A = this chain, B = another copy of it.
Amino acid sequence: MSGRRTITVELGERSYPIVIGSGLLGGAFDLGEYLAGDDCLIVSNDTIAPLYLDKLQADLPGRAVGTISLPDGEEFKTLDTASSILDTLVASGAHRDTTVIALGGGVVGDIAGFAAACYMRGVAFVQVPTTLLAQVDSSVGGKTGVNHPGGKNLIGAFYQPRIVLIDTDTLATLADRELRAGMAEVIKYGAIADAEFFAWLETNMPALLGKDPEALAHAVRRSCEIKAEVVAEDERESGRRAILNFGHTFGHAIERCQGYGEWLHGEAVAAGMVMAAKLSGVEPSELSRLQKLIEAAGLPVAPPRVGAAAMMNAMGMDKKVLGKRLRFVVLESLGAANVTSDYDPSLLDQVLEAAS
């Protein structure tokens, strides 16, 4: 059993803690002081609710708790689903002091957070992420929203939670493929911001995939620390926060070309990181280390064969915008990233050949 650790996301009056530990759900942590009042609505999904809803309720002693369970899956991350949460809030007479609590993965957190941002122009919000991806990425930093048929996350809000409560025990029930997909984001933090952490991941990947509690707790903690630091510096992504998108320009293009749901987001990001590292022109030895770590995590190091032209298109580079330059997150070296539009177009073509 690993010790409890708290990281603060420093955002002035909107600062909040990320509390990470084993056994936090089930009554060991009193969420009371993070609620706006006595009334809560827990938003979860049909997969997670049966596993953890009772345990979360034990952390809410004496509170009036409503629940809504969403269908599980990215395809339900829509304005209609957000609207159904708003309907539930209205129907239950929720008021300014009601707190919305997201219990689940990234989809649940994104939709619930957006509903909390919109209800009465914003009610208190709490994140209880149960997947690795949500614990190290989507639950931290305040990006909430839903998809539009025209693109992912096109509708949303920057809306910070009051606390992110991460019980690492929930990873025990996570499917292996989901664990690996979340690991892509963990590897990303090492690659963009911490060479030492990257090296630690190289050593500990087998333990992580074996769900060693200590190892997972350390990976979640260090990932959250890096994300919290970057978000504190640039909440609304006007600058440095963009480095968190390392591998995501290519990754999103892969998802768009394949149709969503084929590869998991983390799988597409994994291949995207290798592509971005190649575009960066890092030392061959470092590129090789990145590829090997991604492979060790059981993740793809090359894009699916969706076609180089289709990838270009999916990145918004159709023929109408010749001369336009994309912005990519590139590595200076393992542990240091930059955002640039000063890349070599012929190198980009070469990188995209992997998708041909």
Contacts and interface: CB of A to CB of B under 8 A. Distances in A.
A90 B121 contact: no
Interface string A124-154: 0000000000000000000111001111011
A200 to B, nearest CB: 33
Interface residues of A, number: 26
B154 A90 contact: yes
A158 interface: yes
Interface string A77-107: 0010001001100110000000000000000
A150 B119 CA distance: 12
Contacts of A121: 143-145, 153, 156-158, 236
Given A91-B150, A150-B91, A158 B86 contact: no
A318 to B, nearest CB: 10
A143 B122 CA distance: 11
A120 interface: yes
A248 to B, nearest CB: 15
Given A79-B83, A83-B79, A86-B148, A156 B118 contact: yes
B122 A154 contact: no
A315 to B, nearest CB: 13
Contacts of A144: 121
A247 B263 CA distance: 56
Nearest to A114: B118
B118 A150 contact: no
Given A87-B150, A120-B153, A121-B145, 10 more contacts: A79-B83, A90-B151, A91-B150, A118-B118, A118-B145, A118-B157, A119-B155, A121-B157, A122-B236, A157-B157
26 contacts: A79-B79, A79-B83, A79-B86, A86-B154, A86-B155, A87-B150, A90-B148, A90-B151, A90-B154, A91-B150, A118-B118, A118-B145, A118-B156, A118-B157, A119-B154, A119-B155, A120-B153, A121-B143, A121-B144, A121-B145, A121-B153, A121-B156, A121-B236, A122-B157, A122-B158, A157-B157
